[in-house]
Amino acid sequence: MFDQNQLPFDMVQLLDENGNGDEEALQQFSDEFLVTLYKWMRKARVIDERLLKMQRQGRIGTYAPFSGQEAAQIGSVLALEKEDWIFPSYREIAACLAHGLPLTQIFHYVRGHVLGGRTPEHLNIFPIQIIIGAQTLHATGCAWAAKLKGEKQVSVCYFGDGATSEGDFHEAMNFASVYQVPVIFFCQNNQYAISVPVHKQTASWTIAQKAIAYGMKGVLVDGNDALAVYKTMKEAVDSARNGEGPMLIEALTYRLGPHTTSDDPTKYRSAEEAEQWRRKKDPLHRLRVLLEKRGLWTEEKEEAWVAQANDEITAAYEEAVAAETGSIVDVFDYVYGKPSKLLQEQQQEAARRKQGKEVK
């Protein structure tokens, strides 16, 4: 039998569950950075909670909540440069926002706007990927292109623990390591791939150790410790940018809510388990404790920031609702750069049917 002890992976952690850490290690983070980090995480939580309520009210479509994973997403994306690429799955709304995606565009996406998946030209964010694990290949290809062109961009691929069971993940890891491309594989191990717990997803003790088979470095980090995530990602990005190849990061975290709004998590996990993570390991709590210790945050600031975030959400939603949503006729314009004859005929048929309905 294989001895797992041959593959020790210590978890990187700077802040414990009560917001305590080695003061010397924490001195590397400025007060301004700590406040910015917390504000983004708190804003992300407000956005997630509002979107979940809006879905229940029928104002947006199916939604995949991310509460509990704010440290993993915000801590990692703030370690990137603006020119770096991110390849998100459907749960990385927080990372997309922190990398520059307008909140109004998020509402276009969750409301089914025909251009909801479009990223503004100045942002290096690939469209949100629904197919599990497919973005690992896209990120690897983008990183390979950057290397061939002599550019310094780093590609970061976000995915969950379930994606590591997909062939795309293994193909991307192998290719990235063979060609030493500047890509970071960032796995948010939130313990469940829909209803499948991680211990049924893989027999390995960690996901990070899978990197060894592909000849790249693997790191296990406390995904609820935003500072540890930032430090780990910064080191990985700097390494990739300097031509030292890819890296796999496993951020150990927890999805507090359902997989999506069509999911019932009570069918496969206990309420006590989720509450344990919520009460004892909430990523927002430990960072806020640190801020309060340094005199950087108060209850008054908290209330004001939450109110501001809610105002921004309301304004973005109203802007999205007021915009033209497009029609099925417009969808054909975004299938191919140059439409085929068959596609043109289908678009014309759709236009005739639409016109017929409007006449009636």
As a whole number of angstroms, the distance between CA 161 and CA 106 comes to: 24
The yes-or-no answer on residue 255 being catalytic is yes
Which among 219, 238, 249, 251 is positioned nearest to 154, based on CA atoms? 238
Which residue of the set 42, 91, 108, 259 is catalytic?
Answer: 259
- Residues 42, 113, 138, 255: which is the catalytic one? 255
Catalytic residue among 56, 118, 268, 279: 268
Cα separation, 292 vs 290, in Å, equals: 5
Q: How far is CA 270 from CA 195, 267, 274, 277, in A?
A: 12, 8, 7, 12
16's tokens: 């414990």
Is residue 215 within 8 A of residue 177, CB to CB? The reply is: yes
Query: What 3-state DSSP class applies to 148?
Result: helix
Query: Which tokens go with 335?
Result: 């299938």
The kind and range of the H/E element at 317 are helix 299-322
What is the three-state SS of 23-56?
HHHHCCCCHHHHHHHHHHHHHHHHHHHHHHHHHH
- Give phi and psi for 350, each to the nearest 5: -60, -40
Judge whether 45 counts as a catalytic residue: no
* DSSP per-residue codes, 200-230: HH-SSS-SGGGGGGGTSEEEEEETT-HHHHH
- Residue located via tokens 């033209």: 324
170 in active site: no
Residues with a known catalytic role: 255, 259, 268
